[in-house]
Amino acid sequence: MHGLRRLAAGLPAEALRPLKEAISYLEHQRPWIGSYELWKAQGYPVGSGIVALRTDLLNDDWVTPQRLRAFP
């Protein structure tokens, strides 16, 4: 969120509106999205590796290289 707010500084109005909408959306969805910082501090693994494994599992594809995959 801090990075998005810094990005908003100095943007022209036409670019600022969608960015503000994205920030508002993320702020309101925060309870559902969760906190990666908190999970990491609690020792949980945080990253996209689980997404990649889930994609492999759902597609029953353990051969295609990761760089060629499309994630859900």
Short-list 39, 36, 45, 52, CA closest to 1: 36
Domain borders along the chain are: 1-34, 35-72
Residue 65 reports pLDDT greater than 80: no
Short-list 29, 30, 36, 32, CA closest to 50: 36
User: What pLDDT digit, counting tens, does each position of 1-47 carry?
Assistant: 888 888 888 888 888 899 999 999 999 998 888 888 888 899 988 87
